[in-house]
């Protein structure tokens, strides 16, 4: 059972391995939502995520014999690093099974802690099945990433820290993948204040907990499809499910495009890199139907490889109209390019790329295609530039841009 005594024990234990992640008050999100928004930056942990809490506490409760057998787990990345790091502190051998789609930074950092990494399957559930097989074959001690009361108790220490800093918190937003973090945080939060509201947040393409709560029992999704790889789980935990049923007040789902915009918001307003799963609670802020409440968003992790970051930034700028590409057909004669560039310059558009296609038509004097990628202040500014080009006789069309980094 997850009891107050166990949470207090876990809080003392994890102090040995965690960094202090004080709440960050967000002027930007507070103003945009009408609530007092605080961020719990677990992305700043040494391993880049909150998972080290549950992993370390679980391993600390094992017997020496259990640790000597070797440890094994399955993880999309953050729990992997938590187990690998904690195992290293206890001089225990660790094997980590990760999906083949796991970002490279998570794989390399897990290896850097001395763990043996096995890549298997496309999603967590496939990696988990393989890890169970390896545990049985080799007699390893399995450390479940979420469906374990002890692990969940370790994760719940986040709530203890939130209450110590902000005793009058009204709402806690917590990401949900398999449910361990949500179970731990919500259970302790309700023990400390039964009136508090704890809201779980899932990606729409992997809403296994939401569907399970609707059904009244654990269900398995046929597939998952989300950029939030850390929460791409088809089946939530059955052991911790009753805690979720009792203590989570509701589940909000967010779409991938909302995570992309939230990434830009965090970079521009808080100078923090937060991975897509950690951004779930940020995207959920706009879905809250309340005002003047003290809201804490748990940022669960920040492990993103540079390629993913560049892709997210590019898509975010496109979504906000900050970068766009317009296709213009014009006669292939001297001066036309200068004329088009002058129209854009007078409206403060900043050209960052030109693609000139002379073979759009067999009659080059009739038309060649000019694709112009430029920076703008937003959608209104973008529309103004496109209209100006059309007013000057150009058939301007907004098109899908090429990769900006090619």
Q: Is the pLDDT of residue 171 over 60?
A: yes
- Domains of the chain and CATH, by start: 4-50+149-315 (3.40.50.1100), 53-142 (3.40.50.1100), 321-399 (3.30.70.260)
Within 10 A of 4 (CB to CB), how many other CB atoms are there?
12
Q: What is the pLDDT of residue 105?
A: 79
Query: 12-56: per-residue pLDDT in tens?
Result: 999 999 999 999 999 999 999 999 999 999 999 989 999 999 999
Q: Is the pLDDT of residue 365 over 80?
A: no
Q: What is the pLDDT of residue 119?
A: 96
Over range 200-227, report the average pLDDT.
Answer: 96
In the sheet with 397-399, reading across from the earlier edge strand, the strands are: 350-357, 368-375, 323-330, 397-399
* Distance, CA of 301 to CA of 279 (rounded, Å): 9
Q: State the Rg of the chain over Cα.
A: 25
Q: What is the pLDDT of residue 406?
A: 47
Over range 99-106, report the average pLDDT.
Answer: 84
List the alpha helices (DSSP H) in 2-101. 4-14, 27-33, 52-61, 64-68, 78-89
CA atoms within 13 A on the CB side of 363: 5
Catalytic residues, by residue number, are 51, 300
Query: pTM for this one?
Result: 0.86
Q: What is the pLDDT of residue 366?
A: 60
The dihedral sign for the CA sequence 69, 74, 79, 81: positive
């Amino acid at each position: 059972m997850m009891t107050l005594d166990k949470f207090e024990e876990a809080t003392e234990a994890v102090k040995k391995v965690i960094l202090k992640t004080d709440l960050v008050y967000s002027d930007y999100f507070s103003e945009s939502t009408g609530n007092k928004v605080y961020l719990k930056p677990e992305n700043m942990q040494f391993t880049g995520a909150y998972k080290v809490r549950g992993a370390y506490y679980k391993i600390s409760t094992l017997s020496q014999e259990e640790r000597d057998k070797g440890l094994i787990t399955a993880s999309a990345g953050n729990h992997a690093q938590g187990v690998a790091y904690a195992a290293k502190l206890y001089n225990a051998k660790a094997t980590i099974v990760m999906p083949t789609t796991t970002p490279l930074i998570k794989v390399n950092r897990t290896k850097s802690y001395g763990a043996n990494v096995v890549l298997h399957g496309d999603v967590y559930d496939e990696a988990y099945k393989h890890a169970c097989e390896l545990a049985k074959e080799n007699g390893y001690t399995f450390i479940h990433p979420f469906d374990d009361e002890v692990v969940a108790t370790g994760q719940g220490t986040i709530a203890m820290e939130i209450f110590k800093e902000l005793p009058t918190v009204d709402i806690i937003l917590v990401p949900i993948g398999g449910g361990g973090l949500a179970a731990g945080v919500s259970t302790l939060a309700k023990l400390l204040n039964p009136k508090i509201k704890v809201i779980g947040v899932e990606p729409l393409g992997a809403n296994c907990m939401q569907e399970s709560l609707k059904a009244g029992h654990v269900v398995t999704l046929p597939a998952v499809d989300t950029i939030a790889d850390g929460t791409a789980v088809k089946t939530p935990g059955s052991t911790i499910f009753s805690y979720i049923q009792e203590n989570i007040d509701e589940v909000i789902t967010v779409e991938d495009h909302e995570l992309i915009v939230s990434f830009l918001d965090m970079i521009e307003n808080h100078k923090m890199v937060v991975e897509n799963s950690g951004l779930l609670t940020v995207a959920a802020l706009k879905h809250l139907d309340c005002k003047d409440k003290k809201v804490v968003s748990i940022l669960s992790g920040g492990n993103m490889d540079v390629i993913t970051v560049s892709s997210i930034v590019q898509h975010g700028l496109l979504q906000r109209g900050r970068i766009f590409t317009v296709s213009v057909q014009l006669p292939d004669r001297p001066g036309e390019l200068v004329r088009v560039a002058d129209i854009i310059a007078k409206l403060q558009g900043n050209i960052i790329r030109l693609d000139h296609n002379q073979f759009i038509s067999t009659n080059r004097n009739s038309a060649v295609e000019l694709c112009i990628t430029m920076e703008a202040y937003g959608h209104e500014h973008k529309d103004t530039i496109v209209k100006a080009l059309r007013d000057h006789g150009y058939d301007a069309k907004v098109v899908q841009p090429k990769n900006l980094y090619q």
